[in-house]
Chains A and B, each alone.
Chain A
Amino acid sequence: MKPFDYARAADPAGAVALAARPDAKYLAGGTNLVDLMKLGVETPDLLVDVTRLLPAGIEESAGGMRIGAGARNSDVAADPLVRRRYPVLSRALLAGASGQLRNAATIGGNLLQRTRCRYFQDVTKPCNKREPGTGCPAFAGVHRDLAILGTSEHCVATHPSDMAVALAALDAQVHLHDAAPVPVTGLYALPGDTPQVETVLPPGTLITAVSLPPLGFRSSYRKVRDRASYAFAVASIAAALDVVDGTVRDVRIAWGGVAPKPWRAYEAERALRGGPATEAAFRAAAEVELAAARPLPDNAFKVPLVRNLTAAVLAELAGVDR
């Protein structure tokens, strides 16, 4: 890989100052960044190691929880309060990667991992995200795993995180050093004409924590994948559902593996609120959201897949007979 400098700061302010250098990158768990450096996709001049300075606490806060950006995925997944209050988050974390990777990966780093699109990861091929304007081979190439929602003519990459899907459903806030927090649902930028821009964060921004507002109803995460563990989602769903007397009082739906960001299905949620909690209604609501899908030939199956998945998971949360 390209030679680079390595630096460690005493505190977040020091890290941000170091990272002001062009082509600097923060290093946390490194589970994605170091791979990409080996492949030549990421070529930082400087790595600012933030593993020792980021908060790593997992704490109760204002009826919800606050999780330090340096907390390890496996610690968050195993935390008793997380498991009790936000099973959707614990399950999403455990659905991702492998035990070894979860031990190394951090909450902050997980949010900012890059797509696993094959063309993005191969520097011998064109990629609008890696080298804007070079073209996207995925449209006429291998795209079975890629996005059906929120894409543009320049990019159909998916965001690979499971955790971020759960956080999107939970309306989590992302806390930044020396800047106002942003909601996870507002963290990511769709590709549009600038697929190289993946978040709304200015360069050098340091994520310090994630906070979760209270959630008073049942939640779940289900991931569809080609192998039973250690595989990225073909599609996934994070859902929370509040049903009173057969009527949907509140619902949260976020999809993974189908869009350049964790896809909050607001249209589907709107269609369900105040309506009957039936499998037919769940299917119909998913179809409302999926009307915006622009699938390619080899990933068109994701439309019925997500519909079926959504109906199944919501029906399970509602406890309706199928």
Chain B
Amino acid sequence: MTAIGTRIPRTEGPEKVTGAARYAVEYPAADMAYAWPVQAPVARGTVRSIDTDAVRAMPGVLAVLWHGNAPRLADVPDREMLVLQSDQVAYHGQFVAVVVADSLEAAREAANRTPVEIDEQPHDTELRAGRDDLFTPERVNPNHEPDTVQGDVEAELAASAVTVDVTYETAATHNNPMEPHASTARWDADRLVVHDSNQGSTGVAQTLATLFGLAPEQVRVVSTHVGGGFGAKGLPRPNVVLAAMGARAVGRPVRLALARQHQFSVGGYRTPTIQRIRLGAGADGVLRALSHEVVEQTATVREFAEQTAVCSRMMYAAGSRRTAHKLARLDVPMPSWMRAPGEAPGMYALESALDELAAACGLDPIELRVRNEPSVDPESGHPFTSRNLVACLRDGADRFGWAGRDPRPGVRRDGRWLVGTGVAAATYPARTRPASAAARMLRDGRFQVEINATDIGTGARTALGQVAADALGVPPDRIEMCIGDSTLPPASLAGGSMGTASWSLAVDKAGRELRSRMAAGVPEGGVDVRVDTEDDVAALDREWSRHAFGAHFAEVRVDADTGEVRVSRLLGVYAVGRVVNPITARSQFLGGMTMGLGMALTEESTMDHRFGDYVNDDFAGYHVPACADVGTSIEAYWLAERDPHVNPLGIKGIGEIGIVGVPAAIGNAVWHATGVRVRDLPIRLDKVLFR
């Protein structure tokens, strides 16, 4: 019996449900001060002046900082971190000053009343496929070629019996973790201590040390509990710099939690995309050509190129293939990582187009995918460490009751509801990054294992304890996991579905090392081991293609009178290697699927291009799914996949794949229900409504 694979409730659960767990701005201090940022009211311009005397005279104000008086920061590659260092406004809502005051209310009021003189300049925020200034980025996230070509796509398309040429669009969507970006910073002489909400405090501490000219040991970033991130907290954000700057300016600890509205300018979002997909196939559905061309946006402050078409390089066999990314550099907030960057929007387009091809060929959508299953990674030619997409589709079809489905659209009715079903495939890369860890035996016979992993609500702390227990050959209740503190052995961030896989390798190595050292006899003072997996990760065989796979099934009901779409059933089957904790894994899958439901139906950040800002900047205007949106049934299953090649523990990571196929599955089900093919997300009722 191993701890890995066992259903263990999350260890910090009682602390969280009783409110005892402290988040970043819940650490008290007698002399706490509060900061509130001042935002640029224009999308592009030059800050002329801020009347700091007027602001300092406001009730409770301790300090106001702007580029005219803020301390100089050392340069870092991420220009978003160079807060208050320039008079240039690069996007609407960018932080141009910060007010520190005795109370939260006083700081907010003074910040809102801070007179900012700005020379406004013309801005351009509109993403269109026909822009003449689109450019090809050098790389797309995280480090892919922007364009690829295999074979002669045009010739194969021309020779194909069946073709599909469609353009899909996805809206800008904001990560919106429940806990906003938040920091409490204090200076103890020349040491900076920050409680911060992020997905990896090793990187946050390094960035702060560089910015403030400190040695690494002078900075400590603590992130014990984090209320979600979904990619938006993968990198440090301006709030943590402002908190540190403010605390130094007033000589007191400073709290800064961004408001929900701030999430829509500095919090992070997924770029809107415009994706043209062209498929050419024989009458049998076998692909001769697959072309996926993407237009999306980036910011002037820093470039981010979402890898939207990359999934089309490895997903299906095809006689010829083209993928391309083009960017518009706009005066917009910086797009960045949001759960399954690349795969989430890219697979929406690809899997929707596959559904259209299935209809055009008169083939069942599952059978179409089976016929285009590649034997090796079509891009690299490498074998997959494991690829159980077909098994996921078949298992899901059984569980969902797919067999005997009437393929005709718009023919099933239940009272006022039109009913339809849809399927889509999912994939996500299985990456591993180096990490370090330490382990020791405590006096009471328990074991302490340290690694600067971050639990952003995923259950990482619990899962790593299970890995450590197996490595040490003890029950999990004898493990004390120490995570979420930059003074612990450094580790990669909680993102890219690589946290558990990467951290587990280090924890496993530390545990086994400690166990073997103890077997050789425990010296006076105990045994203290510290390991890193730099060499282990470097030694992973690069001649393999590493990916997780999944299949999503949806049943939707569309109100025939109003066009309202409700998802009555959602089912996912995953092939993700070894699942460490079935309880927290299920939560991850269901959370991803629910987020996919939001991407499909409700989530949309709407920009007013005259101002250059996203106007629906709260939870009344930006609709994340509510419990009522998750229908009567949402289910997640996984195959017992043993993958010895992906990494020594056979763990693939599960954080993102849950979102990936859901928008297409729902969109395909809406078409099956109504006969209306909506090709731009979200599928709002006015796009479906029978007028």
Residue numbers of A with Cβ under 8 A of B are: 1-3, 38, 40, 116, 118-119, 122-125, 137, 140-142, 144, 224-232, 234, 301, 304-305, 308-309, 311-312
B691 touches A229 (CB 8 A): no
Chain A residues in 8 Å Cβ range of B564: 224-225
Contact of B105 among A1, A123, A224, A228 (CB under 8 A): A1
Q: Which residue of B lies closest to A118 (CB)?
A: B615
Contact of A229 among B108, B601, B626, B685 (CB under 8 A): B626
Contact of B625 among A227, A232, A308 (CB under 8 A): A227
Q: How far is the CA of A304 from the CA of B552 in the complex (A)?
A: 34
Chain A residues in 8 Å Cβ range of B109: 1-3
Chain B residues in 8 Å Cβ range of A142: 606, 608, 615-616
B59 touches A3 (CB 8 A): yes
Contact of B621 among A118, A141, A229, A309 (CB under 8 A): A118
Given contacts A118-B615, A309-B562, contact A224 B685 (CB under 8 A): yes
B41 touches A305 (CB 8 A): no
Q: How far is the CA of A123 from the CA of B109 in the complex (A)?
A: 13
A308 touches B626 (CB 8 A): no
Please tell me the number of chain B residues within 8 Å of chain A, measured between CB atoms.
36
Consensus secondary structure, chain A interface: loop
| Interface status of B189 (Cβ within 8 A of chain A) | no
Q: How far is the CA of A3 from the CA of B686 in the complex (A)?
A: 43
Chain B residues in 8 Å Cβ range of A3: 59, 105, 109
Contact of B108 among A1, A301, A304 (CB under 8 A): A1
A224 touches B562 (CB 8 A): yes
| Interface status of B135 (Cβ within 8 A of chain A) | no
| Interface status of B87 (Cβ within 8 A of chain A) | no
Chain B residues in 8 Å Cβ range of A137: 608, 610-611
Instruction: State the Cβ distance, A68 to closest chain B Cβ, in Å.
Output: 27
A122 touches B566 (CB 8 A): no
Given contacts A137-B608, A229-B627, contact A311 B561 (CB under 8 A): yes
A301 touches B689 (CB 8 A): yes
| Interface status of B628 (Cβ within 8 A of chain A) | yes
Q: Which B598-617 residues have C-beta < 8 A from chain A?
A: 601-602, 606, 608, 610-611, 615-617
Chain B residues in 8 Å Cβ range of A140: 610
Instruction: State the Cβ distance, B559 to closest chain A Cβ, in Å.
Output: 8
| Interface status of B433 (Cβ within 8 A of chain A) | no
Q: What are 19 A-B pairs with beta-carbon distances under 8 A? A: A1-B105, A118-B616, A119-B615, A123-B112, A142-B608, A142-B616, A224-B562, A225-B564, A227-B628, A231-B620, A234-B686, A301-B686, A301-B689, A304-B689, A305-B562, A308-B561, A308-B562, A309-B562, A311-B561
| Interface status of B416 (Cβ within 8 A of chain A) | yes
Chain A residues in 8 Å Cβ range of B41: 124
| Interface status of B641 (Cβ within 8 A of chain A) | no
Q: Which residue of B lies closest to A228 (CB)?
A: B628
Consensus secondary structure, chain B interface: loop
Q: Which residue of A lies closest to B684 (CB)?
A: A226
Contact of A234 among B561, B616, B685 (CB under 8 A): B685
1/0 per residue, CB under 8 A from A, across B19-63: the answer is 000000000000000000000010000000000000000010000
Q: Which 3 A-B pairs have the closest CB atoms?
A: A228-B628, A229-B628, A301-B686
Chain A residues in 8 Å Cβ range of B615: 118-119, 122, 141-142
Q: Which B620-646 residues have C-beta < 8 A from chain A?
A: 620-621, 623, 625-629
Q: Which residue of A lies closest to B623 (CB)?
A: A227
Chain A residues in 8 Å Cβ range of B566: 228
Chain A residues in 8 Å Cβ range of B628: 227-230
Chain B residues in 8 Å Cβ range of A228: 566, 626, 628-629
Instruction: State the Cβ distance, B333 to closest chain A Cβ, in Å.
Output: 16
Instruction: State the Cβ distance, A158 to closest chain B Cβ, in Å.
Output: 13
Q: How far is the CA of A227 from the CA of B626 in the complex (A)?
A: 7
Q: How far is the CA of A141 from the CA of B559 in the complex (A)?
A: 28
Chain B residues in 8 Å Cβ range of A118: 615-617, 621
Chain A residues in 8 Å Cβ range of B606: 142
Q: Which B658-691 residues have C-beta < 8 A from chain A?
A: 684-686, 689-691
Q: How far is the CA of A234 from the CA of B615 in the complex (A)?
A: 17
Q: Which B238-296 residues have C-beta < 8 A from chain A?
A: none
Q: How far is the CA of A310 from the CA of B564 in the complex (A)?
A: 15
Q: Which residue of B lies closest to A119 (CB)?
A: B615
Instruction: State the Cβ distance, B608 to closest chain A Cβ, in Å.
Output: 5
Q: How far is the CA of A142 from the CA of B605 in the complex (A)?
A: 11
Chain B residues in 8 Å Cβ range of A144: 686
Q: How far is the CA of A3 from the CA of B61 in the complex (A)?
A: 14
B620 touches A226 (CB 8 A): no
Q: How far is the CA of A106 from the CA of B628 in the complex (A)?
A: 24
Chain A residues in 8 Å Cβ range of B620: 116, 231-232
Q: How far is the CA of A137 from the CA of B613 in the complex (A)?
A: 13
Chain A residues in 8 Å Cβ range of B416: 312
Q: Which B562-596 residues have C-beta < 8 A from chain A?
A: 562-564, 566
Chain A residues in 8 Å Cβ range of B627: 229
Q: How far is the CA of A183 from the CA of B487 in the complex (A)?
A: 67
Q: How far is the CA of A113 from the CA of B689 in the complex (A)?
A: 30
Q: How far is the CA of A225 from the CA of B626 in the complex (A)?
A: 12
Given contacts A118-B615, A137-B610, A141-B610, contact A230 B690 (CB under 8 A): no
Instruction: State the Cβ distance, A159 to closest chain B Cβ, in Å.
Output: 15
Q: How far is the CA of A244 from the CA of B592 in the complex (A)?
A: 52
Q: How far is the CA of A311 from the CA of B611 in the complex (A)?
A: 40
Q: Which residue of A lies closest to B619 (CB)?
A: A230
Q: Which residue of A lies closest to B59 (CB)?
A: A3
Instruction: State the Cβ distance, B97 to closest chain A Cβ, in Å.
Output: 15
Q: How far is the CA of A227 from the CA of B602 in the complex (A)?
A: 6
Q: How far is the CA of A302 from the CA of B606 in the complex (A)?
A: 19
Q: How far is the CA of A190 from the CA of B614 in the complex (A)?
A: 29
Chain A residues in 8 Å Cβ range of B616: 118, 142
Q: How far is the CA of A230 from the CA of B620 in the complex (A)?
A: 8
B691 touches A301 (CB 8 A): yes
Chain A residues in 8 Å Cβ range of B690: 304, 308
Q: Which residue of A lies closest to B40 (CB)?
A: A124
Instruction: State the Cβ distance, B315 to closest chain A Cβ, in Å.
Output: 31
Chain A residues in 8 Å Cβ range of B691: 301, 304
Q: How far is the CA of A140 from the CA of B610 in the complex (A)?
A: 9
Q: Which residue of A lies closest to B621 (CB)?
A: A118
Chain A residues in 8 Å Cβ range of B601: 226-227
B626 touches A230 (CB 8 A): yes
1/0 per residue, CB under 8 A from A, across B406-428: the answer is 00000000001000000000000
Among A40, A137, A142, A226, the one with the most B-chain Cβ atoms within 10 Å of its Cβ is: A226
Instruction: State the Cβ distance, B227 to closest chain A Cβ, in Å.
Output: 18
Chain B residues in 8 Å Cβ range of A229: 626-629
Q: How far is the CA of A232 from the CA of B616 in the complex (A)?
A: 13
1/0 per residue, CB under 8 A from A, across B386-422: the answer is 0000000000000000000000000000001000000
Chain A residues in 8 Å Cβ range of B626: 227-231
Q: How far is the CA of A142 from the CA of B611 in the complex (A)?
A: 11
Q: How far is the CA of A2 from the CA of B561 in the complex (A)?
A: 46
Q: Which residue of A lies closest to B562 (CB)?
A: A224
Q: How far is the CA of A230 from the CA of B621 in the complex (A)?
A: 10
Given contacts A304-B689, A305-B562, contact A226 B608 (CB under 8 A): no
Instruction: State the Cβ distance, A279 to closest chain B Cβ, in Å.
Output: 11
Q: Which residue of B lies closest to A140 (CB)?
A: B610
Chain B residues in 8 Å Cβ range of A124: 41
Query: With A118-B621, A226-B601 given, can you name 9 additional A-B contacts, CB distance below 8 Å?
Result: A3-B105, A38-B108, A119-B615, A137-B608, A141-B615, A142-B616, A224-B559, A227-B628, A229-B626
Q: How far is the CA of A118 from the CA of B615 in the complex (A)?
A: 6
Instruction: State the Cβ distance, B329 to closest chain A Cβ, in Å.
Output: 24
Chain B residues in 8 Å Cβ range of A312: 416, 561-562
Chain A residues in 8 Å Cβ range of B684: 226
